[in-house]
């Protein structure tokens, strides 16, 4: 059986083969930027309300230039250009009676019996629809935000409160998944206090409400809804469908395997109005299929079974957007996260394939081989496909078949048949994803921003690998956008303003999509960064403008090969030789730290008076540290020129040239005495560099600037400019990096 046909073959966790994931240690991002560095240098802005938690609903309104935010007891309206200025807020607490009832029902008054605003949608030209948990009493309201060009307003319309049941969850821990189409809200939510009656629900608008069959595990089996999208299929609105993304317990799994989690895509027709005699006010076009995100292996697939988020990337062909998703695993054996990409055509194909069928309680789930009634369940009543103008006209056998066969037999597989990007054992998992399609010099690239459960954002690009649609993800940046490490709950992008908005329990952050200067000051560094937003303009790494003259813009996202692109520029025009002094028997620290965490440092040595260069091998006397090379037990013969180079993608970039002079003890003393201002501190007993005596000639100036620095016990080694630049960034740097090839992404 192929991987696509699998309704009856849900495997157990035994299929999580370590062999499949092999050497899955996550590779480091190229750049890791701390909260402090992002705030000081890269335009990170933070918004937070006093004594308010749980920022969850984000709504980008490009026309008004506002970011609307839903949080505990509040709705806020922020400027998209700078979320820290001109913030307007609106208090929307739950009434005291509801909070008391909530408390009587056994919920915590301080943490649960509040109004957690879970959803925000643009309702009409002047109002938003907002819904919150209302202290376990879901409620919706219209929020006036003014006309487009007016001064921003933010007012709650208390005359028209709506029942929020079936729209917002009751429980603050649950997520809301909904989409507003016209005046109608489609939501996937638990519609009862106990959180057991899960439903796909249509409400508001003029038509009667519609829902899924209650308490039928074939339809929904303890689902957790993730996202809902309205995706038209043609010019004819009668073909419009709403797609629900969720995870649930697999009803099709063999009972012996226990409770198994599966991820799903479900569909319904927008023009569904329910059945006439049965399925009255219930969906007649509901179908669901399994979404598979797994790594194929000879002995079985490794499944990422828990869908966490979906981002719909609209393309020029507006009927066929791409679905970027993040998954985690429910496995107790390993912790992993993956990004899988699906095409809408593959989703639609699954709904046109065979239905899953179970004859009776003692039977297996199989592919239904009998006659499928006409019109085929799942098809919308439409002139495109037939003569039925309403689901109320559907023949009884169609309705009966639809009720009993909501599950498709075939699964939906990701593009390329495997995850685009994955991490195993990273110490965190993915929670959110958003994507931006960027025009670069050599084509289009999708840039993914992945939120994690430790408050970081990973910036990953999808680059073609072999033949299309195969692609792999390259991890460019790890951004610590919050001061704390609360999980990211929501992310929104403004392509127009080139900004990313990120929410967590504790705050909302805003960060530009690119920070080209952070990649470095050399052409090769800019090129190796492979950031489609950035290019080398002859002098600096700056924002790439597709329209600008190409001659001056150098960028190679596909290969990241600087050897041809940057050949005109000397890789490092200002690589001056610096002098370092050491004392015989003592030690010397040769500092060199590449900006890229993916680069490997290579040291070569040219003995004084000799022409030959040799590679400095790691040995007891020459220890490689994250910031440089420590030479111990110095000998006269160690004098010479040490050249440090960063090797990445097979490209070697010289970073520093250090001339070491090893002096005899008497010689050193004489030298030291000639320096008046040199602070000579008593050696600290604990530090490895206590016997470290270094004389540095700053900036390669004349002998007059010769200065002696005896290491202060509590301070770090002296910090020339390259160190200062990287200090914040390295705060979270891993221990001395193991030698590894210039591999830049997890791929299999």
List interacting residues with ligand NAG (CB under 6 A): 43, 45, 82, 84-85, 123-127, 142, 160
Find residue 446's DSSP bridge partners. Answer: 437, 462
**Residue 39 or 429 having the CB closest to ligand NAG:** 39
- With b meaning 16 or more CB within 10 Å and e meaning fewer, what string describes 139-172? bbbbbebbeeeeebebeeeeeeebebbbbbbbbb
CB closer to ligand NAG, 180 vs 644: 180
Question: What is the distance in angstroms between the CA of the first residue and the CA of the last residue of the chain?
Answer: 23
Nearer to ligand NAG, 125 or 731 (CB): 125
Other residues' Cβ atoms within 10 Å of the Cβ of residue 129: 21
Q: How far is the CB of 478 from ligand NAG (least distance, A)?
A: 22
Any idea how long the chain is? 748
529: nearest Cα among 541, 512, 539, 511: 541
Taking the C-alpha atoms of residue 177 and residue 192, their distance in angstroms, rounded to an integer, is 16
For the bound state, the minimum distance from the C-beta of residue 205 to ligand NAG, rounded and expressed in Å, comes to 11
Question: Do 479 and 459 form a contact (C-beta atoms < 8 A)?
Answer: yes
- Minimum CB separation from ligand NAG for residue 126, in Å? 4
Preceding peptide of 725 cis, ω within 30°? no
Pick the closer one to ligand NAG by CB: 204 or 655.
204
Are 21 and 421 within 8 A, CB to CB?
Answer: no
What is the DSSP track for 260-279? Answer: -EEEEEEEEETT----SSSS
Instruction: For residues 744 and 423, give the distance between their C-alpha atoms in angstroms, rounded to a whole number.
Output: 13
CB of 206 to ligand NAG, least distance (A): 13
What is the smallest separation between the CB atom of 532 and ligand NAG, expressed in angstroms? 24
Give CA 503 to chain center in angstroms. Answer: 12
Residues 6+ apart with CB under 8 A from 12: 257, 260
Decide if 290 contacts 411 (C-beta within 8 A). Answer: yes
Cα 718 vs. chain centroid, distance in angstroms?
A: 37
Q: What angle do CA 351, 354, 356 make, to 5 degrees?
A: 100
* Shortest Cβ 67–ligand NAG spacing (Å): 13
Cβ 511 to ligand NAG shortest distance, Å: 11
Nearer CB in complex with ligand NAG: 45/578: 45
Of the pair 542, 598, the CB lying nearest ligand NAG is at: 542
Q: How far is the CB of 669 from ligand NAG (least distance, A)?
A: 52
Q: Of the two residues 179 and 448, which places its CB atom closer to ligand NAG in the complex?
A: 179
The residue (of 182 and 736) whose beta carbon lies closer to ligand NAG is 182
C-alpha 462/C-alpha 313 separation (Å) is 13
User: What residues are paired with 202 via a beta bridge?
Assistant: 186, 210
Instruction: Compute the least distance from the CB of residue 123 to ligand NAG, in Å.
Output: 6
Cβ proximity to ligand NAG: between 85 and 690 the closer is 85
Residue 383, exposed/middle/buried by CB under 10 A (0-12, 13-18, 19+)? exposed
Q: Which of residues 127 and 270 has its CB atom nearest to ligand NAG in the complex?
A: 127
Q: Of the two residues 513 and 662, which places its CB atom closer to ligand NAG in the complex?
A: 513
Task: Give strand pairing partners of 651.
Answer: 648
The DSSP 8-state label assigned to residue 712 in this structure reads P
Cβ of residue 68: shortest distance to ligand NAG, in angstroms? 15
Whether 646 contacts 601, CB under 8 Å: yes
Shortest separation between residue 79's beta carbon and ligand NAG, angstroms? 8
Tell me the CA distances in angstroms from 209 to 183, 200, 232, 240, 380, one per residue in order. Answer: 12, 11, 21, 18, 18
Based on CB atoms, which residue is closest to ligand NAG, 29 or 164?
A: 164
- How far, in Å, CA of 596 to CA of 449, rounded? 19
Distance CA 434, CA 490 (A): 9
Which residue, 367, 517, 507, 420, is CA-closest to 74? 507
| Whether 235 contacts 215, CB under 8 Å | no
Nearest to ligand NAG of 59, 135 (CB atom): 59
Q: Which is nearer to ligand NAG, 79 or 178 (CB)?
A: 79
Backbone angles phi, psi at 589, to 5 degrees: -110, 120
- How far apart are CB 343 and ligand NAG at their closest, in Å? 36
In whole angstroms, the minimum distance from the beta carbon of 314 to ligand NAG comes to 26
Residue 342's DSSP bridge partners are: 323
Q: CB of residue 70 vs ligand NAG: minimum separation in angstroms?
A: 18
User: Whole-number minimum distance, CB 86 to ligand NAG, in Å?
Assistant: 8
Comparing CB distances to ligand NAG, the nearer of 81 and 561 is: 81
Tell the smallest beta-carbon distance from residue 593 to ligand NAG (Å).
Answer: 29
The least CB distance from residue 55 to ligand NAG, in Å, is 18
Least distance from C-beta 336 to ligand NAG, angstroms?
A: 37
Task: Return the number of the residue (512 or 698) whose C-beta is nearest ligand NAG.
Answer: 512
CA-nearest of 184, 145, 143, 144 to 167 is: 184
| C-beta neighbour count of 333 within 10 angstroms | 11
Q: Three-state secondary structure along 224-244?
A: EEEEEEEECCCCCHHHCEEEE
**Is residue 647 exposed (0-12), middle (13-18) or buried (19+ Cβ within 10 Å)?**
middle
Is the preceding omega at residue 398 within 30 degrees of 0, hence cis?
Answer: no
Residue 451 token pair: 């939120």
User: Which is closer to ligand NAG, CB of 141 or CB of 191?
Assistant: 141
Q: State the Cα–Cα distance between residues 152 and 687, nearest whole angstrom.
A: 59
User: Between 141 and 571, whose beta carbon lies closer to ligand NAG?
Assistant: 141
């Amino acid at each position: 059986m192929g991987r696509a046909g699998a309704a009856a073959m849900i495997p157990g966790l035994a299929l999580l083969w370590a062999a499949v994931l092999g050497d899955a240690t996550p590779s480091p991002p190229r750049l890791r930027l701390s909260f402090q560095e992002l705030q000081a240098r890269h335009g990170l802005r933070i918004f937070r309300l006093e004594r308010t938690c749980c920022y969850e609903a984000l709504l980008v309104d490009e026309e008004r230039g506002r970011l609307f935010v839903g949080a505990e007891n509040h709705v806020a309206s922020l400027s998209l250009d700078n979320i820290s200025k001109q913030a307007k807020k609106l208090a929307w607490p739950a009434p005291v009676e509801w909070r008391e009832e909530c408390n009587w029902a056994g919920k915590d008054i301080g943490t649960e019996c509040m109004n957690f605003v879970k959803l925000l949608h643009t309702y009409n030209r002047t109002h938003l629809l907002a819904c919150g948990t209302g202290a376990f009493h879901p409620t919706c309201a219209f929020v006036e935000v003014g006309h487009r060009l007016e001064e921003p307003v933010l007012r709650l319309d208390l005359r028209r409160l709506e029942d929020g049941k079936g729209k917002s969850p009751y429980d603050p821990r649950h997520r809301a998944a909904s989409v507003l189409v016209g005046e109608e809200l489609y939501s996937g939510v638990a519609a009862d206090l106990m959180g057991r009656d899960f439903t796909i629900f249509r409400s508001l608008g003029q038509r009667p409400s519609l829902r899924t069959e209650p308490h039928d595990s074939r339809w929904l089996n303890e689902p957790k809804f993730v996202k809902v999208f309205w995706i038209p299929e043609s010019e004819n609105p009668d073909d419009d469908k709403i797609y629900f993304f969720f995870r649930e317990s697999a009803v099709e799994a063999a009972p012996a395997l226990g409770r198994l989690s599966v991820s799903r895509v479900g569909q319904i027709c927008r023009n569904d109005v329910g059945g006439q005699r049965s399925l009255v006010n219930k969906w007649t076009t509901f179908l669901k299929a399994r979404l598979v995100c797994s790594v194929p292996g000879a002995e079985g697939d490794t499944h990422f079974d828990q869908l966490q988020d979906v981002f719909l990337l609209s393309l020029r062909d507006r009927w066929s957007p791409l679905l970027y998703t993040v998954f985690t695993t429910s496995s107790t054996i390993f912790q992993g996260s993956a990004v899988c990409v699906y095409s809408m055509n593959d989703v639609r194909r699954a709904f046109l394939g065979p239905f899953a069928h179970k004859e009776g309680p003692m039977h297996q789930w199989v592919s239904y081989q009998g006659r499928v009634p006409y019109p085929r369940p799942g098809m919308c009543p439409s002139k495109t496909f037939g003569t039925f103008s309403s689901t109320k006209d559907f023949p009884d056998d169609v309705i009966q078949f639809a009720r009993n066969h909501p599950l498709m037999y075939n699964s939906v597989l990701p593009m390329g048949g495997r995850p685009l990007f994955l991490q195993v054992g990273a110490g965190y998992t993915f929670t959110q994803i958003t994507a931006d399609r960027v025009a670069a010099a050599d084509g289009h690239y999708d840039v993914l921003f992945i939120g994690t459960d430790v408050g970081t954002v990973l910036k990953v690009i999808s680059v073609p690998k072999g033949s299309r649609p195969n692609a792999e993800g390259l991890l460019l940046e790890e951004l610590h956008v919050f001061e704390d490490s609360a999980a990211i709950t929501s992310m929104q992008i403004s392509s127009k303003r080139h900004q990313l908005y990120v929410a967590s329990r504790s705050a909302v952050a805003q960060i530009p999509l690119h920070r080209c200067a952070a990649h470095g000051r050399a052409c090769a560094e800019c090129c190796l960064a492979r950031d489609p937003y950035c290019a080398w303009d002859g002098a600096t790494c700056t924002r790439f403008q597709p329209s600008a003259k190409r001659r001056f813009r150098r960028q190679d996202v596909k290969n990241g090969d600087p050897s041809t692109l940057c050949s005109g520029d000397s890789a490092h025009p200002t690589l001056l030789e610096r002098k370092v002094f050491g004392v015989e028997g003592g030690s010397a620290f040769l500092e060199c730290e590449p900006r890229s965490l993916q680069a490997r440092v290579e040291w070569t040595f040219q003995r004084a008076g000799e022409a030959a260069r040799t590679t400095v091998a790691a040995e007891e006397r020459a220890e490689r540290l994250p910031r440089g090379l420590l030479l111990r037990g110095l000998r006269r013969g160690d004098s010479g020129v040490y050249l440090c180079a960063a090797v990445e993608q097979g490209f070697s970039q010289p970073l520093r040239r250090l001339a070491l002079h090893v002096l005899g003890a008497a010689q050193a003393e004489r030298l030291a005495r000639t320096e008046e201002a040199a602070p000579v501190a008593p050696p600290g007993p604990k530090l490895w560099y206590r016997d470290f005596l270094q004389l540095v000639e700053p900036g390669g100036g004349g002998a007059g600037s010769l200065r002696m620095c005896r290491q202060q016990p509590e301070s770090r080694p002296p910090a020339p400019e390259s160190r200062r630049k990287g200090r914040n960034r390295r705060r979270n740097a891993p221990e001395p990096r193991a030698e590894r090839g210039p591999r830049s992404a997890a791929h299999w």
